[in-house]
Amino acid sequence: MEPTAFTDRIDEALEQFRGRDLVAAAEVTDLLLDLRLMLLAADLGASTPAPS
């Protein structure tokens, strides 16, 4: 997974949260879980040897 995927997801969340005085804990939790899953997928992809 490319690093731009992470920044794209963060940018999407920032757009959603912009201008709001309050952000629900559930929304922040969803974002953090999304990022965690993306990092795990990237880590698994990096540890899998490339086909020869």
Domain ranges of the chain: 3-10+22-47
For position 15, what pLDDT does the model report? 92
Task: Say yes or no to pLDDT of 52 above 70.
Answer: no
CA distance 32 to 17: 14
Residue type, 16: Q
Query: Which of 29, 32, 26 has its CA nearest to residue 10?
Result: 32
40 token code pair:
């795990």
For position 3, what pLDDT does the model report? 76
Pairwise pLDDT comparison (31 vs 46), residue with the higher score = 31
Verdict on whether the full-model pTM lies above 0.75: no
Give 6-45 pLDDT, tens digit per residue. Answer: 899 999 999 999 988 999 999 999 999 999 999 998 888 7
For position 11, what pLDDT does the model report? 93
CA distance between the termini of the chain: 19
